[in-house]
Amino acid sequence: NAGVTQTPKFRILKIGQSMTLQCAQDMNHNYMYWYRQDPGMGLKLIYYSVGAGITDKGEVPNGYNVSRSTTEDFPLRLELAAPSQTSVYFCASSSPAGGYTFGSGTRLTVV
């Protein structure tokens, strides 16, 4: 039972580069989320999705885009990387009953 799988685990980007953080879950959860965690802080919501084809902004969406073409996958896209996007990114999913599962995180550094 893999749960929530995030790739890559680490990445260094140059300013202005683009990349996609992958997230996949195998629990058939409708709800999926992307959070970012800055050093010494709690997690903040970037985007979330309540089902395939439906996405919505969270607290800190600027500089990011998401898509949800399938129930399993919820990729996060950074189009023009900036140093302010240096952070640890967590994907999560949940069921209607509230069972919440986090991925293991992606550490992104923008230089």
Q: Which two tokens stand for residue 43?
A: 């997690």
- Asked if 67 and 54 touch (Cβ cutoff 8 Å), the reply is no
Query: Closest CB to another protein among 31 and 73?
Result: 31
Work out how close the CB of 79 gets to another protein at its nearest, in angstroms, rounded to a whole number: 23
15, 16, 26, 50: which one binds another protein (CB under 8 A): 50
CA nearest 77: which of 3, 14, 17?
17
81, 90, 108, 110: which one binds another protein (CB under 8 A): 90
Of the ranges 16-24, 60-68, 70-78, 94-102, which one interacts with another protein (CB under 8 A)? 94-102
Rounded to 5°, the CA angle 83-56-50 comes to 125
Query: Closest CB to another protein among 9 and 69?
Result: 9
- Asked if 59 and 44 touch (Cβ cutoff 8 Å), the reply is yes
- Asked if 38 and 26 touch (Cβ cutoff 8 Å), the reply is no
Q: Which residues contact another protein (rule: CB under 8 A)?
A: 30-31, 33, 35, 40-45, 48, 50, 58, 88, 90, 92, 94, 96-98, 100, 102, 104-105, 107
